[in-house]
Amino acid sequence: MASPERRSRPILACLVSAILASAVPAAGQPYVHEKLVQPVYVTVAPTYGDVELEGDVLAYGVREEIDAIGFAEGAVFLFGRDQGGAGNWGLIKKLHSPAPSIGQGFGTAVELQGDELFVVSPYFNGPVGVVRIFGRNVGGADNWGLVREVVEPESQVCELGRSMDVEGDILVVGSRCGVTGQEGRVFVYERDLGGPGNWGRRQTLAPADVETTDWFGTSVALSGNLLAVGAPLREPGDWTTNTNNGAVYLFRRDPATGLWVEWRILTDNAGTNAWLGRNVALDGSTLLASREGDNRISVYRCWQGGPGNWGYAGDLVPPTGSFAIGDLSESIVIDGALAVVAGSTHGWVYDLYDWPAFGDDLQELLPSGGTHSFNFVSVDGGRIAAAGAIIGISTYVIDVWAAPTADLSVAVDDGQTVAIPGTTLSYEIVFSNGGAAAAAGAQLEVDLSGSSLDLANVAWTCDTSPGAGAGTTCPLSAGTWSDLENGPLPFGIEPGDLVTISLDAPVLLEASAPPECRSRVRAPAAQAVDPDPSDNTALDRDALGGPLIFTDGFEGGDLVVWWGQGGCP
């Protein structure tokens, strides 16, 4: 079924989606428990911190752990997959602050990016914080040595790094304090700005309407050229109303200047004491924002409610218990189409791709070895990590779950760049599986726009290669548009195999928009996950030769500007 996002785009000539079927949520349980990780603490009852999982490394920050000389400065435990045996998650190293001080909160927030580890101490020098960057193999194999420190020079900053996110060469750090009180600010740093290896401040973000008690910067989430910032105490009017509705600010990066520009304020469904934006999570065209006040999570999607809009799509609601929404915890994360939400005594996995039922949990995650809370979660492809305290003794443990992976990708090409009305475009759409798990029950969905293509004369054939996988099947050996227009067709694909759709689509003589073929593939939510969703979409788009008519205010003909102005990935 076509999603609202796809139906709302007026200039869409050919959209091809391979959507792997998801079963009823109760039947889909792809994640199985892999390991219970139990750090060895010095602190009797460590509290707060963060967990981050990437590849074969698991980082867990404990902001009140005691160091060797008795300072409650915090620590970061680094665990490695297969460390100490196959399937084990063994301790690689326990990191302490290079400059110990009582209560600095080392490990309050942690981020892993490749061979880099970013660690926050929000109270390093009284109320002034620091972000430290450690490098893998710096000073020896798996040593994780200090590479750089980021200290904000601006006066009156406090709790730097209360929230943090990093992507590529951009580091975003939030602070709930500001010049006049707790209005909050967000600092954006860039790699190599100010010298090789340096992380220099590019910009300080503070909305024009921010007020003294808004807590702007409590949460941040970065995805490409889009940045989401939570302000959970923002009021709809004057700050003296004290309603604590909350809001999420969206910023877009100007490609010409590299500066971040305020773009949207999301307040949908933010009622009195909702605290919208206490936690935020962002990936591509989906944004999650917690509402602590009524124990919900607002879902926003790009193009929801019209072109270029980021609209409120609905809520995630805990089937039982409550979400673990609160301060100093990353309780919601997104990876591709999967969202993981921490709960009071367990967690939930949501399949956000399934629009008709995205509010239903795909799987419930139960802790192993007894009952403990879930406070911090992280997801990386085929694995989920969740940290929480064993109820009654407040000792934090970490559960790791793993799922089979079907690493699907798609490519589409018609071999040309200009389409001439009256000719035929021959698209080759190739779906591949580079993962270890088969993708049984896959579904192929094709949408063709009648504004550019002659649907009555569309024809296609299907083939598989290399053909060794007995489970690799075509939906049909050949077909027409009538075989596709009534819904998706099932097929299956084994690891290492290809399914190729060769589709011929005549271009109408009166075509009014450039022909386009957009393809998408996803892993079967009830069977497996896709560890790399970055190759799940592909686009082939041709310029339209001959006369071209533009409507709806785009007579200038700049479709590149039109397509990019919405701010969607």
Give me the pLDDT at residue 240, please.
59
More confident call, 357 vs 50? 50
DSSP string across 6-60: HHT-SS-SEEEEEEE----TTT----EEEEEE----SSSS---EEEEEETTEEEE
Cβ proximity of 297 and 332 under 8 Å: yes
With vertex at residue 456, the alpha carbon angle to CA 455 and CA 458, rounded to the nearest 5 degrees, is 60
CA atoms 26, 31, 35, 39: torsion sign: negative
- Per the structure block, which two tokens stand in for 80? 């490695």
Distance CA 222, CA 234 (A): 21
Supply the pLDDT for residue 287.
Answer: 93
Distance CA(306)–CA(5), nearest Å, equals 8
Contacts 24+ apart (CB under 8 A), 430-433: 430/498, 430/499, 430/500, 430/501, 431/18, 431/493, 431/498, 431/499, 431/500, 431/501, 431/521, 432/408, 432/493, 432/497, 432/498, 432/499, 433/406, 433/407, 433/408, 433/493, 433/494, 433/495, 433/496, 433/497
> pLDDT at residue 202 above 90?
yes
Distances (CA, A) of 67 to 38, 39, 73, 192, 406: 18, 14, 7, 32, 43
Coil, helix or strand at residue 488: coil
Start-end ranges of CATH 2.130.10.130 in the chain? 34-402
Task: Provide DSSP, 450-474.
Answer: TTTB-GGG-EEEEEEES---TT-B-
What is the C-alpha separation between 235 and 242, in angstroms, rounded?
7
Burial class (CB in 10 A: 0-12, 13-18, 19+), 262: middle
Q: Are 399 and 385 in contact (CB under 8 A)?
A: yes
Q: How confident is the model at residue 125 (pLDDT cuts 50, 70, 90)?
A: confident
Contact 330, 50 (CB under 8 A): yes
Q: How far apart (Å, rounded) are the C-alpha atoms in residues 233 and 486?
A: 47
Q: What is residue 298's predicted lDDT score, i.e. its pLDDT?
A: 92
Best-predicted range by mean pLDDT (14-23, 66-75, 182-191): 182-191
> According to CATH, where is 2.60.40 located in the chain?
4-22+407-564
What DSSP string describes 339-381?
A: EEEEBSS-EEEEETT-GGGTTSEEEEE--SSS-B---EEEEET
Residue 531 has pLDDT above 80, yes or no: no
Instruction: Give me the amino acid identity at 246.
Output: G
Lowest-confidence region among 125-134, 455-464, 496-505 = 125-134
Q: What are phi and psi of 350, to 5 degrees?
A: -115, 140
Residue for token digits 């100007």?
Answer: 254
Cβ–Cβ under 8 Å, residues 151 and 130:
yes
**Per-residue model confidence as pLDDT tens digits over 3-20:** 323 223 333 334 443 333
What's the CATH code, domain 4-22+407-564?
2.60.40
Dump pLDDT digits (tens) for 78-108: 999 999 999 899 999 999 999 988 888 899 8
Among 2, 7, 12, CA closest to 563: 12
Q: Name which of 167-171, 374-378, 487-491 the model is least confident about.
A: 487-491
Q: Which phi and psi angles does 352 have, rounded to 5°?
A: -80, -10
Based on C-alpha coordinates, what's the Rg of the chain? 25
Burial of 104 (0-12, 13-18, 19+ CB in 10 A): buried
Domain 34-402: top CATH class: mainly beta
Those residues whose C-beta lies under 8 Å from the C-beta of residue 487, and which sit 6 or more positions away, are: 1, 445
Which of 5-9, 194-198, 287-291, 310-314 is the least confident region? Answer: 5-9
Q: What distance in Å separates the CA atoms of residue 386 and residue 50, rounded to the nearest whole number?
A: 10
Q: Is the Cβ–Cβ distance between 298 and 352 less than 8 Å?
A: no
**H/E element holding 113?**
strand 110-113
Return the sign of the alpha-carbon dihedral for residues 136, 140, 143, 146: negative
Mean pLDDT of 269-274: 80
Question: pTM above 0.85?
Answer: no
Alpha carbon distance 186, 169 (integer Å): 16
pLDDT at 68 over 90: no
Lowest-confidence region among 363-367, 459-463, 508-512: 363-367
pLDDT > 70 in the chain, percent: 83
Q: How many CB atoms lie within 10 A of CB 537?
A: 18
Bridge-partner residues for 80, per DSSP? 57, 90
Beta-carbon contacts of 529 under 8 Å, excluding residues fewer than 6 positions away, are 30, 338, 381, 382, 403, 404, 405, 406, 523
Q: In what order do the strands lie in the sheet with 376-380?
A: 32-37, 395-402, 383-390, 376-380
Per the model's pLDDT, the better-predicted residue between 330 and 543 turns out to be 543
Please tell me the total number of residues recorded for the chain in this structure.
569
Q: What is the mean pLDDT of residues 460-480?
A: 90
Q: Is 533:274 a contact under the CB 8 Å cutoff?
A: no
d(CA 265, CA 259): 18
pLDDT at 543 over 50: yes
In the chain, the largest separation of any two C-alpha atoms, in whole Å, equals 80
According to the model, what pLDDT value does residue 10 have?
A: 31
13 strand-pairing partners: none
Supply the pLDDT for residue 427: 94
